[in-house]
A = this chain, B = another copy of it.
Amino acid sequence: MRLGQKNRTLVCLLWQIQFADDMQEFTKFPTKTGRRSLSRSISQSSTDSYSSAASYTDSSDDEVSPREKQQTNSKGSSNFCVKNIKQAEFGRREIEIAEQDMSALISLRKRAQGEKPLAGAKIVGCTHITAQTAVLIETLCALGAQCRWSACNIYSTQNEVAAALAEAGVAVFAWKGESEDDFWWCIDRCVNMDGWQANMILDDGGDLTHWVYKKYPNVFKKIRGIVEESVTGVHRLYQLSKAGKLCVPAMNVNDSVTKQKFDNLYCCRESILDGLKRTTDVMFGGKQVVVCGYGEVGKGCCAALKALGAIVYITEIDPICALQACMDGFRVVKLNEVIRQVDVVITCTGNKNVVTREHLDRMKNSCIVCNMGHSNTEIDVGRLLNLSCSTVPTFVLSITATTQALALIELYNAPEGRYKQDVYLLPKKMDEYVASLHLPSFDAHLTELTDDQAKYLGLNKNGPFKPNYYR
């Protein structure tokens, strides 16, 4: 079962070492376990990355299940199931604000709207349902597609955004706090509709794909392709492919260069500071920090921490990354060597049991332990306070969403035979196109090759500029 799986880049789990007597206090105040900044820590249900805007209306809402409500939008349609259609206006405002930082998608709407490259596309989608994905969904519609949508996570839906989508005519089936049964019911409502058959799948985690495989294998006869965004979902696709069971082309957008750089290096450079500050009020200057793993995530964390005056140590298993850490000015140590002296431990390895119970026992009181990696298993959690927090700038989500839109367009319009029943990376040229759509928001001006220069370099003037193996 994969309910509630976390999207890796966006979650920053934090704990803080607290010794025994403190723990007794906690027992007495079970709902107030945090430090003074507890009021700012975000509750379990919102640890998921997309839910940075808490649904302030939840508490006042009635407790009737959306499945039992009869709701119609202002045009009389009931082709949806959301918490409360009346929240649409506020949700619309959220979407409009998200649009401001997703100008690449807006620009894509404008550039491609004339030709409607998704005319005829019938897309079933299963993603987080937030203001940012709403901008994606409405872009797909603007390009000609029909969409039916459910949530890939039982907690992450912004109810007011779902309402706004429903009000705008999208067939959306999602609310915050679905049960496991609700979850599959919503997916089923998207796929299983009389007189409408999907020809494209946009998935995040692979649950939708899994459901179609299991319940409606015939649907694949019409499907032109699957676009999958998550590590987990991509992994499942490669397994299907290996087993010879993948019956349509699939696009792995998780590993596109632009997305990777933003999800890892740049996003973590910003979010490590934010995540720690929001939950702990730690001052970075002079703090001793050990970062486990010096891949892209680790590099991003280290750059930010060093810049703000922290003293950073690295642990690595890979000599190439270790040598890079040396050249970047970090001491490469084993965790044992510094565990007693550090104020913060950050794991970015993707490995398991990187921080063991023994390490935890040797840490200073009030040492902060933070997991920035994609595995929940990096830390052998024990005597720890969970101060989880998460955030990701809309701009980063814009890159993901634009990549998804382009992958859908590419698969939908690809000439017969370009893509087989296999998993593909986004063509480098489209990767570059995603990047170029985001340059205007920085007022960045690309230089163009002259004919002569293009010839000298053996490149097409319009790209791709990178070999396919570049990353």
Contact = CB atoms under 8 A, between A and B. Distances in A.
Nearest to A266: B327
Contact of A445 (B90, B327, B334, B396): B334
A277 interface: yes
A370 B425 CA distance: 38
Contacts of A393: 281-283
Given A93-B25, A274-B277, A327-B286, A466 B318 contact: yes
B317 A447 contact: yes
Interface string A277-320: 11001111110100000000000000010111111000111111
B439 A257 contact: no
B257 A456 contact: no
Name the residue in A36, A39, A329, A353 with the highest tally of chain B Cβ atoms < 10 Å from its Cβ: A36
A449 interface: yes
Contacts of A61: none
A144 B284 CA distance: 34
Contacts of A433: 319
A407 B18 CA distance: 34
A442 B286 contact: yes
A471 B470 CA distance: 7
Contact of A330 (B40, B307, B311, B391): B311
Contact of A327 (B94, B285, B307, B365): B285
Interface stretch (A51-59, A185-193, A204-212): A51-59
Contacts of A443: 288, 331, 341
Given A309-B327, A327-B286, A436 B319 contact: yes
Interface residues of A, number: 107
A397 to B, nearest CB: 10
Nearest to A444: B332
A422 interface: no
Nearest to A337: B445
B94 A326 contact: no
Contact of A446 (B39, B332, B366): B332
Nearest to A36: B53
A60 interface: no
Nearest to A469: B469
Given A329-B286, A452-B353, A320 B258 contact: yes
A69 interface: no
A218 interface: no
B351 A329 contact: no
B90 A32 contact: yes
A322 to B, nearest CB: 5
B396 A283 contact: yes
A453 B352 contact: yes
A301 B371 CA distance: 28
A57 to B, nearest CB: 10
A270 interface: yes
Nearest to A324: B261
A97 interface: yes
Contact of A310 (B329, B450, B469): B329
Interface string A57-100: 00000000000000000000000000000000010011001101
Interface string A250-265: 0000000110011000
Contacts of A37: 52-53
Nearest to A450: B353
Name the residue in A56, A322, A331, A466 with the highest tally of chain B Cβ atoms < 10 Å from its Cβ: A322
A435 B322 contact: yes
Given A318-B465, A326-B442, A377-B456, 4 more contacts: A37-B53, A286-B329, A310-B329, A323-B435
18 contacts: A37-B53, A270-B308, A273-B277, A274-B274, A277-B278, A281-B391, A286-B442, A286-B444, A315-B447, A317-B447, A318-B432, A318-B465, A321-B465, A322-B436, A326-B442, A351-B453, A351-B456, A351-B457
Interface of A: 25, 29, 32, 35-40, 52-54, 56, 90, 93-94, 97-98, 100, 131, 257-258, 261-262, 266, 269-270, 273-274, 277-278, 281-286, 288, 304, 306-311, 315-335, 337, 341, 350-354, 365-366, 377, 391, 393-396, 431-433, 435-436, 438-439, 442-450, 452-453, 456-457, 463, 465-466, 469-471
4 nearest A-B pairs in the assembled complex, by CB-CB distance: A307-B307, A332-B444, A286-B326, A319-B436
